[in-house]
Homo-oligomer: A and B are copies of this chain.
Amino acid sequence: MENKYQPITIKICQEIIDIVGENNFITGDLDKLEPYSHDEVADKAFAVMPEIVVKPTSTLQISEIMKLANREMIPVTPRGAGSGLSGGAVPVFGGIVLSLEKMNHILEVDTENLLVVVEPGVITNDINERVKNLNLFFAGYPMSVEACFIGGNVAENAGGGKAVKYGVTGRYIMGLEVVLPSGEIVQFGGKRVKDVAGYDMVNLMVGSEGTLGIFTKIFIKLLPLPKTKADLLVLFKTPEEAIAMVPKIMTTAGIIPTAIEFMDQLSIKTACEYLNESLPYEQAGAMLLIEVDGTDRKMVEQDYECIGDLCQENGAIEVYVAPNHTTQERIWAVRRNIAEAFKVYSPIQSLEDIVVPFASIPEILPILDELSTRFNIVIPCYGHAGDGNLHVTAVKKPEMSLDEWNAIEKSFLIELYKEVIKLGGSISGEHGIGSKRSEFLPLMMNPTVIDLQKKIKLAFDPNLILNPGKIFPQVHEI
């Protein structure tokens, strides 16, 4: 199928204004359109300007816009907070950016059924602010929790810092009201905890990157709020020793920590220097940041002591315990500031989020060393060790020219992805394929599976008007 998208005429603009109102419509003004041309992907080459931006305030308005777009063959790109890292909210074929920023209401807090019903434009952290006095929380915890929208989290199946114990966003999504590309409004799931009637449409929508429908209501399961937590920062001589702790903590100690974050020496060194942090990182080949939480102070103490002892029995150089908020902040600052520290070192980078089976993390590290030498770039490696999800980042050395960087970036990514796939991994654990990685999808997915997924896409969106150019390479060759 060829690209048959049509430009947006003045007549169509007027129709759209009739739907959403003048105040919820942007066109012409490049300064106002520009923020909707990109997400948080560093490379501006991925940015594309929309023809118009609309900010609907209701499900019905979204339905009307989709009917019009479907009739007129105009591409529509849904957008949350724009905090994504794969170009998912970028209108790669122009057309309409449909921003959910005004659909930002917490519609219901159902304390009897332990759930909330929210619109997609709610800031994720606002959900927890709203329910914390009820001793409840939503366990999804992307690192951008204070800025990102819950709709984007669902669309990308966001992971984050608490997935070892609590899993990723999808585990908490009980139901979705969805506007289909045709404009029809349907609901998958709802307030029921279980449901096996037909295929699992809720999980098909979760992580579909805005290509199958636009979420307008999200039913989210809540959990009892843990009342206390503690963090451990554990230094190891080698990454192997560090990673070997992941299954040991779960089997020998029988504990599932909230988080097990990994940092290699390069990441630690750069973050510590950036922060003027005095940790004795010179001897440490790797660090783990381990968090435990629970309802009972004593139990949490027992857990972190048990994990600390186990780490020391298994070769840890040093175990720092952070039982209170101040020390916890100091420890997490090292982990959180890695990305920032490398941006100061050199802003030209490609932030990746590869996944390998977590026991294979030690195997990927010498490969990164080799790639670093071969491509003459810096490659810090840190991330969610308990999930095998690593934010391997290719960083241009300040002395490398932009031309040289542009010449090697793609080759580096292909080499990295091939090694990850050889280990049984994936090219994205939580950021998504979007437009940034679509050309690389065939490296890991065989043509039969890509073909099945394209047929699913076509079942929902026969005219390919919803978020085209995402996930699949050459979407128009279906």
Chain A contact residues, CB within 8 Å of chain B = 110-114, 134-136, 156-157, 159, 163, 167-168, 170-171, 180, 184, 186, 188, 190-201, 203-204, 206-208, 212, 223-227, 247, 250-256, 295-296, 299, 302, 355-359, 384, 386-389, 424-433, 437, 441, 444-446, 448-450, 452-453, 455-456, 459-460, 471
Determine whether the beta carbon of A196 is less than 8 Å from that of B428. yes
Separation of A384 and B194 alpha carbons in the complex (Å): 10
Determine whether the beta carbon of A441 is less than 8 Å from that of B359. no
Give 27 pairs: A residue, B residue, CB < 8 Å, sorted on A.
A113-B247, A114-B247, A156-B196, A163-B193, A168-B194, A170-B200, A170-B203, A188-B449, A191-B424, A192-B357, A193-B358, A194-B384, A195-B429, A196-B428, A196-B429, A196-B431, A196-B432, A197-B441, A198-B471, A199-B207, A200-B207, A204-B204, A223-B256, A224-B251, A224-B253, A224-B254, A456-B456
Q: Given the interface contacts A192-B424, A459-B456, does A198 sit within 8 Å of B433 by beta carbon? A: yes
Q: Given the interface contacts A192-B426, A255-B224, A389-B193, does A445 sit within 8 Å of B198 by beta carbon? A: yes
Instruction: Point out the residues of chain B lying under 8 angstroms from A194, CB to CB.
Output: 159, 163, 168, 355, 384, 387-389, 426, 429-430
Instruction: Point out the residues of chain B lying under 8 angstroms from A252, CB to CB.
Output: 135
Give this chain's copy count: 2
Determine whether the beta carbon of B357 is less than 8 Å from that of A113. yes
Determine whether the beta carbon of A424 is less than 8 Å from that of B254. no
Instruction: Point out the residues of chain B lying under 8 angstroms from A196, CB to CB.
Output: 156-157, 207, 426, 428-433
Q: Given the interface contacts A192-B424, A193-B389, does A224 sit within 8 Å of B250 by beta carbon? A: yes
User: For chain A, what secondary structure do more than half of its interface residues adopt (helix, strand, loop), or is it mixed?
Assistant: loop
> Smallest CB-CB separation from A426: which chain B residue?
B195
Separation of A30 and B431 alpha carbons in the complex (Å): 55
**Minimum-distance CB pairs A-B, first 8:** A112-B359, A455-B459, A203-B203, A191-B357, A194-B429, A195-B426, A254-B295, A224-B254
